[in-house]
């Protein structure tokens, strides 16, 4: 069934129903603002709380206590008057705060006085040789299957990469009876030393004990190879084996399924397409929007909360959602803001939630060889462009990702750069001896997610159309 | 410290790049100054139509001159610019439109131009089998085609640099002035001086002309385009409609470009455009009606490039009416891409020889001034 937005204009439109979006929409609505929450998934939760009100996994311990926090957020939202539409893909947002959204195959346009983007994170590309083979997928994709359908791997399975989510996924797979043959940990040894100065904050953060016990739980059941410096997947049209180097020794093992993960990065596509300024983050190695303390972006009226504002994790996302919503309330209905928690206390909550983040970012900073591929390794999957192709284009004058489009169609396929953008920026920066900030990123344009021609043709007619303008 | 060069070309669109290249071929050493990068705006993001079809009569000689260069573009640039020549077809959707087409072709023939050819419904369906059966005919220009605009503009820039042009990208030309019979321009910390200045600054050219005392009626526009996912090959020529705003081109990789001149809102100072999806929906509806095969295709991306449009839709091309050594090359009004190669060649002739065999006299800036001034 198709549910169109009830109104043409709202005080606040929140995009994304993960932790930040759920919190933002509930806060904004509780303060009396007309609020619309648009979300792409079938139900609330985003990635971290995916399928929170529909998962077949009922034993709470299997997905962990952190997961079930999402249920409280959903309850708060449901108790509010916010209008919530799922399976709603926002495909355009511009600086006039005009929003185009596709719901059940039909597009509608709505206008907002304030927009809170809570579009979360994406997994960082992991461009190793063979990463495009069937049988290789991201850990996030595996987790989606696990949460929504309780599906876990049962053939020879290897997990490679690093980061907190990798260990969480491994623990979840094992708890649900899934199979993992080996974990190849790509954390650079030097990162442990680099992260040490930030360890105190981490030790006093909630991540520490949880993370440690999860790693212990996994290591008790699976062989973990640390210090992996090289990875490649191979097979004839289908993944058959994995090759890796650890401690200078190469080993080849059979695998049906390879799950890759080396952290998450802000999902910037909609924000960039709206014209919001982003900067390169040298620690997190990704683009992050330029925001003020309330999450407000360079485009008037648009705020960003959650991991889309820079990776901070679910707890920080919830607080950022509340901060952005409170700022919207302050602007649109100042009297109602008095009823909400004070901004100062929200900011204190945020500082607490972000404690330990620098340690994690430093420890799990992906190694260059896993971010910047060489030779025949595919960079752009949509157009099958290799690292060598890109270096060749640089050699004859391509200076940045947008210029590269003139030589190679990188970033012009259906993924709109989600799977290649960071790689292209870093690869070109390295080749040209420039910083990623100087090299820049693809200019992104709507539709941020493809829509069918038929769907666009079916939107309500404009005045232009009615006048049937004749070519001069 | 001022660097002396033979010519200063302001604007790294296909026009500025082509003029710089042709000046190099004539033995001059120009500097090409582009505030962003070559092909950043309309030249790099237009529909790529290489079209003689349906042009205003005063610019047809320039278009024909350009076509000769396009057909040998690899010889000039060592880059094929993805130029392909499957013709361009103007479709008449009814008998009235076909009558207008017939009159147009007759008029061109009387002027000695033969590139446009009237076609009946059978030939239309042979050329464009997917077109709706109700269309009675149209006009074809068989040598026309399309190229990759960013690739082409970049290739002109690259070749100009190889042949000795100095290229400055990412810094705007400022403080343009004429002293001691030389044009002076600041580019960041650098200064250049030359006896010749070419104003090929696209949407920014009107301001330059006005600053130099030659205002022209020109506005900034941003025509929108959208591109679809790959669909099975079903159409060779570029198709434009006689009666509705639509141009349509399928590339070799199967993607389809839909344009036609619906406008976005340009924010020139920010290098930004805001798209008008309701107008794009109009284009989508037209395609939906004419090409049922396209209905399930997905729209991958839409965009708009910023450019200059004059009051009479003709470019401002040729020497200044006021200043010695100043030449204008702007205001191509949504149809400048195909003209780029030829316009550069002709501009170099005007600069180096003081004249050209190609008829461009109707395009001069003086047309905007009454003879008494």
User: ipTM of this model?
Assistant: 0.91
Chain A residues whose beta carbon lies within 8 Å of the beta carbon of residue B153: 406
B92 min Cα distance to partner chain A (Å) = 12
What was the pLDDT predicted at A472? 33
Please give the interface size between A and B, counted as residue pairs whose CB atoms are below 8 Å apart.
Answer: 125
CA angle (B336, B341, B345) in 5-degree steps: 120
What was the pLDDT predicted at A288? 97
Give the tokens for residue A460: 């309500």
Give strand pairing partners of A223: A182
Higher pLDDT, A460 or A380: A380
Indicate if the pLDDT at residue A45 is higher than 90: no
Question: B236 by DSSP, 3-state: which?
Answer: coil
Chain A residues whose beta carbon lies within 8 Å of the beta carbon of residue B157: 397
What are the strands of the beta sheet with A249-254, ordered from one edge? A228-234, A241-246, A249-254
What was the pLDDT predicted at B373? 47
- Choosing among A407, A471, A472, which should be mutated to test the B contact, i.e. which has the most B CBs within 10 A? A471
For residue A209, the surrounding DSSP H or E stretch is: helix A206-219
A109 touches chain B (CB under 8 A): yes
Residue A49 gets which letter from DSSP? Answer: T
A74-94 residues labelled b (16+ CB within 10 A) or e (exposed): bebbeebebbbbbbbbbbbbb
pLDDT-based confidence at A469, cuts 50/70/90? very low
Chain B residues whose beta carbon lies within 8 Å of the beta carbon of residue A456: 277, 280-281, 284, 299
DSSP per residue, B92-113: E-SHHHHHHHHHHHHHHHHTT-
Chain B residues whose beta carbon lies within 8 Å of the beta carbon of residue A399: 37, 169
B180 min Cα distance to partner chain A (Å) = 37
CA angle (B287, B290, B295) in 5-degree steps: 55
- pLDDT tens per residue across span A52-95: 878 888 777 777 778 888 889 999 999 999 999 999 999 999 99
CA angle (A168, A171, A173) in 5-degree steps: 110
Q: Which of A198-202, A377-381, B318-322 has the lowest mean pLDDT?
A: A198-202
Higher pLDDT, A58 or A125: A125
| CA distance between the termini of chain A | 43
What sign does the CA torsion over A76, A79, A83, A85 have?
A: positive
Chain A residues whose beta carbon lies within 8 Å of the beta carbon of residue B298: 414, 450-453
Question: B372 by DSSP, 3-state: which?
Answer: coil
Check CB contact under 8 Å for B299 and A470.
Answer: no
> What mean pLDDT is predicted for residues A105-125?
96
Which among B44, B169, B278 is the nearest to A406, CB-wise? B44
Q: Compute the residue count for chain B.
A: 373
- pLDDT tens per residue across span B119-136: 999 999 999 998 888 899
d(CA A421, CA A440) in angstroms, rounded, equals: 10
B358 min Cα distance to partner chain A (Å) = 26
Check CB contact under 8 Å for A453 and B287.
Answer: yes
Give the tokens for residue A319: 């607080």
d(CA A195, CA A149) in angstroms, rounded, equals: 37
Indicate if the pLDDT at residue A421 is higher than 60: yes
CB A269 within 8 A of CB A300: no
pLDDT-based confidence at B345, cuts 50/70/90? very high
Can you list the pairs that A201-209 forms with residues at least 24 positions away whose Cβ atoms lie under 8 Å? A201/A355, A201/A356, A201/A358, A201/A359, A202/A355, A202/A356, A202/A359, A202/A360, A204/A355, A204/A356, A205/A355, A205/A356, A205/A359, A206/A315, A206/A356, A207/A164, A207/A313, A207/A356, A207/A360, A208/A356
Higher pLDDT, B340 or B293: B340
Check CB contact under 8 Å for A462 and B245.
Answer: no
Check CB contact under 8 Å for A471 and B241.
Answer: yes
Indicate if the pLDDT at residue A229 is higher than 50: yes
What was the pLDDT predicted at A471? 37
Total-model pTM: 0.92
Chain B residues whose beta carbon lies within 8 Å of the beta carbon of residue A412: 227, 300-301
Indicate if the pLDDT at residue B143 is higher than 60: yes
């Amino acid at each position: 069934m198709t549910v169109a937005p009830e109104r043409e204009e709202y005080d606040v439109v929140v995009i994304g129903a993960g932790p930040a979006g759920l919190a933002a929409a509930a806060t904004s609505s509780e303060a009396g603002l007309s609020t619309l929450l648009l979300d792409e998934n079938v139900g609330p939760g985003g990635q971290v709380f995916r399928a929170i009100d529909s998962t077949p996994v009922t034993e709470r311990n299997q997905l962990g206590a952190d997961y079930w926090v999402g249920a409280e957020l959903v309850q708060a939202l449901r108790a509010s008057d916010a209008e919530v539409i799922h399976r709603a893909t926002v495909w355009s947002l511009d600086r006039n705060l005009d929003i185009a959204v596709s719901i059940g195959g039909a597009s509608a346009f709505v206008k907002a006085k304030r927009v809170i983007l809570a579009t979360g994170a994406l997994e960082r590309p992991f461009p190793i040789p063979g990463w495009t083979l069937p049988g290789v997928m991201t850990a996030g994709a595996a987790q989606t299957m696990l949460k929504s359908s309780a599906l876990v791997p049962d053939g020879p399975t290897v997990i490679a990469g690093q980061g907190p989510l990798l260990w969480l996924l491994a623990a979840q797979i094992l708890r649900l009876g899934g199979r993992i043959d080996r974990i190849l940990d790509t954390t650079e040894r030097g990162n442990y030393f680099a992260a040490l100065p930030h360890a105190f904050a981490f030790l006093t953060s909630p991540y520490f004990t949880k993370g440690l016990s999860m790693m212990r739980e996994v290591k008790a059941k699976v062989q973990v190879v640390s210090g992996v410096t090289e990875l490649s997947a191979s097979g004839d049209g289908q993944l058959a084996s994995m090759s890796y180097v650890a401690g200078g020794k190469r080993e080849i093992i059979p695998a049906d399924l390879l799950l890759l993960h080396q952290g998450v990065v802000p999902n910037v596509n909609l924000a960039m397409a709206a014209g919001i300024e982003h900067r390169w983050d040298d620690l997190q190695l990704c683009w992050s929007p330029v925001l003020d303390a309330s999450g407000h972006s360079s485009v008037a009226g648009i705020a960003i909360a959650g991991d889309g504002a820079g990776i901070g994790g679910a707890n920080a996302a919830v607080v950022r959602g509340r901060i952005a919503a409170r700022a919207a309330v302050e602007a649109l209905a100042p009297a109602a803001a008095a009823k909400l928690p004070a901004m100062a206390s929200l900011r204190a909550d945020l500082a607490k939630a972000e404690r330990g983040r620098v340690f994690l970012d430093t420890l799990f900073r992906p190694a260059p060889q896993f971010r910047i591929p060489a030779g025949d390794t595919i960079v752009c999957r949509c157009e099958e462009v290799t690292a060598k192709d890109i270096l060749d284009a640089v050699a004859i004058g391509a200076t940045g990702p947008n210029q590269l489009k003139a030589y190679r169609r990188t970033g012009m396929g259906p993924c709109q750069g989600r799977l290649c953008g960071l790689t292209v920026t870093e690869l070109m920066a390295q080749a040209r001896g420039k910083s990623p900030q100087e090299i820049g990123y693809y200019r992104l344009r709507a539709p941020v997610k493809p829509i069918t021609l038929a769907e666009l043709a079916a939107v309500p007619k404009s005045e232009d159309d009615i006048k049937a303008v004749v070519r001069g | 410290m001022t660097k002396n060069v033979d010519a200063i070309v302001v604007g790294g669109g296909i026009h500025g790049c082509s003029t710089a290249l042709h000046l190099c071929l004539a033995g001059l050493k120009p500097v090409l100054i582009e505030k962003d990068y070559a092909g950043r705006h309309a030249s790099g993001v237009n529909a790529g139509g290489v079209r003689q079809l349906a042009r205003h009569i005063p610019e047809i000689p320039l278009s024909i001159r350009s076509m000769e260069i396009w057909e040998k573009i690899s010889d000039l640039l060592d880059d094929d610019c993805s130029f392909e020549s499957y013709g361009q077809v103007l479709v008449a959707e009814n008998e009235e439109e076909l009558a207008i087409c017939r009159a147009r072709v007759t008029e061109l023939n009387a002027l000695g131009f033969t590139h446009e050819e009237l076609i009946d419904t059978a030939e239309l369906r042979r050329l464009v089998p997917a077109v709706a059966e109700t269309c009675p005919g149209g006009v074809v220009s068989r040598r026309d085609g399309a190229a990759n605009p960013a690739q082409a503009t970049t290739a002109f820039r690259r070749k100009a640099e190889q042949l000795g042009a100095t290229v400055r990208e990412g810094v705007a030309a400022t403080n343009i002035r004429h002293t001691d019979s030389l044009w002076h321009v600041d580019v960041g910390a650098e200064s250049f001086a030359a006896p010749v200045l070419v104003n090929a600054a696209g949407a920014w050219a009107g301001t330059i002309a006005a600053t130099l005392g030659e205002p022209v009626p020109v506005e900034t526009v941003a025509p929108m385009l959208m591109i679809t996912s790959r669909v099975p090959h079903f159409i060779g020529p570029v198709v434009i409609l006689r009666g509705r705003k639509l141009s349509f081109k399928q590339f070799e990789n199967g993607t389809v470009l839909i344009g036609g001149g619906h406008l976005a809102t340009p924010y020139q100072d920010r290098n930004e455009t805001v798209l008008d999806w309701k107008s794009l929906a109009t284009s989508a509806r037209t395609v939906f009606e004419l090409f049922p095969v396209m209905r399930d295709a997905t729209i991958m991306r839409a965009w708009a490039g910023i450019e200059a449009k004059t009051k009479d839709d003709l470019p401002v091309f040729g020497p200044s009416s006021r200043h010695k050594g100043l030449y204008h090359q702007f205001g191509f009004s949504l149809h400048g891409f195909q003209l780029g190669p030829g316009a550069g060649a002709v501009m170099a002739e005007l600069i180096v020889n003081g004249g050209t065999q190609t008829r461009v006299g109707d395009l001069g800036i003086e047309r905007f001034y009454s003879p008494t001034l």
